[in-house]
């Protein structure tokens, strides 16, 4: 069982400077399973580990709990959520319904500044070699596309679904290449830039089909093990 309470652990694990985005750093650590569902940690130990103020760490944990990544319960230590097969299936179903609408809206009036931002994100995906960061950046593409669509409620809802998908990829030990393919994202964005909603939706649907098959096949055995246990 992992523990982040010891001084040796806090010293041994290298992390970026505290000026880096704290949420991204913590979420990357979760996706890399340096912090996993078996880890024992506290708000204070995480703050020490990331060289952050406890109040800032509290805010990050609260944000992650709203995304159902971290479970916060009164009088209990925080813990990383352990996803099961049915939860992932429902999340992917909701994503499909939401993102189909999002990509159609994005195709209606693609703005140059939004396209440039997404191209930059895809370029970061292409260059990223870190497992956790690659998963998070792949999810960030979908979230940024939702922002481009200009529908705040849809973007907010998708913001609760994408992080859960990212966690499932990490917990079910899915190959990053099976999900974080910057080429697919680039093709989707090309269609959006042309205003070709039919092509963009087709590419997105195929992308989500592949993700669903990979995740549910990977997660089924894990889910059954948890039920048996």
Please state the domain extents for the chain: 7-80, 85-228
**CATH classification (class only), 7-80:** mainly alpha
Q: What is the pLDDT of residues 90-145, one digit of tens each?
A: 999 999 999 999 999 999 989 999 999 999 999 998 888 777 888 899 999 999 99
The hierarchical CATH code for the domain 85-228 is: 1.20.120.530
**pLDDT for res 132:** 80
Q: What is the pLDDT of residues 178-195, one digit of tens each?
A: 556 889 999 999 999 999
* Per-residue CA distances from 83 to 20, 39, 98, 167 (Å): 28, 15, 21, 8
Q: Which residue has the higher pLDDT, 27 or 13?
A: 27
Two structure tokens written together for 113 = 């500044």
pTM: 0.80
């Amino acid at each position: 069982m992992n523990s982040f309470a010891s001084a040796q652990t806090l010293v041994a694990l290298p992390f970026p400077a505290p000026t880096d985005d704290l949420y991204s750093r913590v979420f990357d650590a979760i996706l890399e399973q340096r912090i996993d569902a078996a880890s024992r940690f506290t708000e204070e130990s995480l703050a020490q580990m990331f060289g952050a103020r406890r109040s800032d760490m509290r805010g990050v944990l609260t944000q992650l709990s709203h995304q159902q990544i971290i479970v916060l319960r009164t009088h209990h230590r925080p813990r990383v959520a352990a996803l099961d097969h049915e939860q992932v299936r429902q999340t992917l179903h909701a994503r499909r319904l939401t993102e189909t609408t999002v990509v159609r809206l994005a195709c209606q009036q693609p703005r140059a500044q939004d396209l440039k931002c997404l191209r930059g994100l895809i370029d970061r995906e292409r260059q990223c070699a870190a497992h956790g960061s690659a998963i998070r950046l792949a999810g960030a593409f979908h979230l940024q596309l939702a922002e481009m669509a200009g529908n705040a409620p849809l973007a907010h809802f998708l913001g609760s679904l994408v992080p859960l998908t990212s966690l499932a990829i990490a917990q079910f030990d899915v190959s990053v290449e099976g999900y974080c393919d910057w080429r697919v994202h680039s093709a989707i964005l090309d269609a959006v830039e042309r205003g070709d909603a039919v092509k963009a939706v087709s590419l997105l649907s195929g992308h989500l089909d592949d993700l669903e098959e990979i995740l549910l096949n990977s997660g089924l055995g894990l889910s059954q093990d948890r039920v048996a246990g």
